Structure 1
Amino acid sequence: MNHLAHLYLSQSDPDWMVGNFIADFVKGKALSTFSPRIQEGIQMHRFIDEYMDNHTEVKKAKQRLYPHYGKYAAVIVDMYYDHILARNWSDFSPLKLNTFTTAAYKMLHSRRPIMPKRSLPTLDHMSANDWLSGYAQIHGMQKAFNGLSRRAKFDSKMEKATLQLEEDYEQLREEFHRYLPELMQELQLKFGPF
């Protein structure tokens, strides 16, 4: 799961949202420099990633993509799931997607002083280009995959990933709709109600 799903799953607590957003930028002992709730958000992000890596539905999606994208299949599935969440937002939230994303950007920007400096360019680009709402549209996904492909160290072919997304959409959507409620249940068991 990518930014949208992590923020959605942690939306009940702004500190959890910050932790989920900055988690990939926090390594080693730096974890202890954050408040306990932000640390929980970072741990939540890592729990989500680990749970996702080991879930049967997610593994099926990665296996289908692996012959085309190799090790980048996992990144692509993360992005696909943000697309499915955004496109089916009303299945999961009473808020409009734009209402949620606007509030998320505002809250994250208000917490800039406590975020790792390396996370700030991502936040700035994400909010300036409205990545989160853009995930709902194929052209938004294409822009995201083009950017990921340019930054990849090897030939990722990610710029072609929207073709597979459109072809496999229904199957991916069904898998996601089975996976997400299970993940939410596990998160509640580990982190409490959200």
Structure 2
Amino acid sequence: MNFLAHLYLSGNNKELMIGNFIADHVKGRNFSHFSEEIQKGITLHRQIDSFTDSHEIVRKSKHRLHERYRHYDGVIIDIFYDHFLAKNWKNYSEIPLGVYVNSVYQLLNENIKILPEKTQEMLPYMIQYNWLYNYQFAKGIQEVLNGMNRRTNGKSQMNLATEDLLNHYSDFEKDFTSFFKELKEFASQYQLTV
């Protein structure tokens, strides 16, 4: 799952959201300098990633892309799934997506000093181009994939993946809807145990 899903799966716990958001920029197991709730968010992020990577529905989605993108298929599926979450946001939240993402940007800006350096560098671009909101549009997904492709010096060819999204749109959306129901349950149960 990508940024929007990780944030959403943190519920209304702001520190959990911060931890879940920054986890990809926190290496190893030594993150005790963060508050207990942020640590839980980092751990939740990693559990969500493990659950996602091993799930049969996600594997089916990745299989549609594997021949063309190889080990980048998982990254692309994470972005596709955030697209379906954003596009169908009203099915998952009573808070309008625009209001939600602005509150997330505000939360992250208010806590900028505790965010890892890589997150601090990324955040202004995320806000400027409003990634979280624009995930709902094919154009927004294309811009994200273009950026990812640039970061791999064109090796990933992720900039072509919007074509695959559109060619298999209903299949990917069906996969997401079924999988996300299970992932929400997993994340809720996990939070009760930590």
Q: Could you tell me which residue of structure 1 aligns to residue 78 of structure 2?
A: 78
* TM-score, scaled to structure 2: 0.96
The CA deviation at 1:36 is 0.6
Instruction: Write the deviation string for residues 132-169 of structure 1: whole angstroms up to 9, x where unpaired.
Output: 01111111111111100010156111111001111111
1:53 aligns with 2:40: no
Bigger mean CA offset, 74-83 vs 107-116? 107-116
Equivalent positions of 1:111-126 (< 5 A) are 111-126=111-126
The CA deviation at 1:11 is 3.3
* Amino acid in the other structure paired with 1:10: S
Does the residue aligned with 1:33 lie in a helix, a strand or coil?
A: coil
Aligned residue pairs, count: 193
**Cα distance in structure 2, aligned partners of 1:61 and 1:100:** 28
Bigger mean CA offset, 54-63 vs 20-29? 20-29
**Cα distance in structure 2, aligned partners of 1:95 and 1:46:** 26
**Cα distance in structure 1, aligned partners of 2:180 and 2:84:** 11
* Amino acid in the other structure paired with 1:113: K
The CA deviation at 1:28 is 2.4
Instruction: Write the deviation string for residues 34-77 of structure 1: whole angstroms up to 9, x where unpaired.
Output: 11100000001101100000111100011111001111101000
The CA deviation at 1:29 is 4.8
Aligned-residue CA RMSD in angstroms? 1.3
Which runs of structure 1 show a deviation greater than 3 angstroms over 4 or more consecutive aligned residues? none
Q: Could you tell me which residue of structure 2 aligns to residue 176 of structure 1?
A: 176
**Cα distance in structure 2, aligned partners of 1:67 and 1:28:** 31
* TM-score, scaled to structure 1: 0.96
**Cα distance in structure 2, aligned partners of 1:179 and 1:16:** 22
Instruction: Write the deviation string for residues 7-42 of structure 1: whole angstroms up to 9, x where unpaired.
Output: 111131000110011101111254111111000000
1:160 aligns with 2:163: no
Equivalent positions of 1:7-46 (< 5 A) are 7-46=7-46
**Cα distance in structure 1, aligned partners of 2:136 and 2:104:** 16
Q: Could you tell me which residue of structure 1 aligns to residue 143 of structure 2?
A: 143
The runs of 5 or more residues in structure 2 that have no matched partner are none
* Amino acid in the other structure paired with 1:37: E
Q: Could you tell me which residue of structure 1 aligns to residue 66 of structure 2?
A: 66
Q: Could you tell me which residue of structure 2 aligns to residue 101 of structure 1?
A: 101
